[in-house]
Amino acid sequence: MFAWQLFRGQYHLLRAGICHRDIKPQNLLVDENTGLLKIGDFGSSAFEPRKSPQPSYHVTRYYRPPELLLGSKVYGCEVDIWSSGCVFGEMLRGSVLFPGKSTMNQIEVSYLNLYLDLLPGKK
């Protein structure tokens, strides 16, 4: 139910042209009486529905998409989709999906978890 609410909330933000740019568990608020999830902390957000040059990246490392880890400064709201997917994976797993200790290590951890199984001969 929480994942559905997260993706639904993100859908509404995207329709309004709002990029949150810091989707992570700490920015998701849940009412314990109703189970209603709200997206909070819009300090890094911007009205930028299209990809555009950014002065810096805002996404917390564990939830940062590969293109930002590799240094891209041109991005849009799609960074929130990756972040939400990481949060969903964390909900299923019960721990951080890609726990990198640095930006370089984050790239390695993401690669090992996502792409290594796609190599020929890997079982």
Determine the pLDDT at residue 42. 95
Per-residue pLDDT for the chain (123 aa), expressed as one digit of tens each?
899 999 999 999 999 999 999 999 999 999 999 999 999 999 999 887 667 777 666 789 999 998 899 888 888 888 999 999 999 999 999 999 999 999 999 999 988 887 766 556 655
The DSSP secondary-structure symbol of 6 reads H
Catalytic pick from 22, 31, 80, 117?
Answer: 22
Q: Which helix (H) or strand (E) holds 75?
A: strand 74-75
pTM: predicted TM-score of the whole model, two decimal places:
0.85
**Degrees (nearest 5) of the Cα angle 120, 121, 123?**
115
Instruction: Give residue for tokens 């040059």.
Output: 53
From the centroid of its chain, how far is CA 90?
11
Q: How far apart are CA 119 and CA 7, in angstroms?
A: 31
Angstrom distances, CA of residue 18 to CA of 9, 108, 120: 11, 30, 40
End-to-end CA distance of the chain: 33
Alpha helix locations (H) across the chain? 2-15, 66-69, 78-93, 103-114
How many residues are listed for the chain in this entry?
123
Determine the pLDDT at residue 73. 85
Structural domains of the chain, ranges and CATH numbers in brackets = 2-118 (1.10.510.10)
Active site residue 22: yes
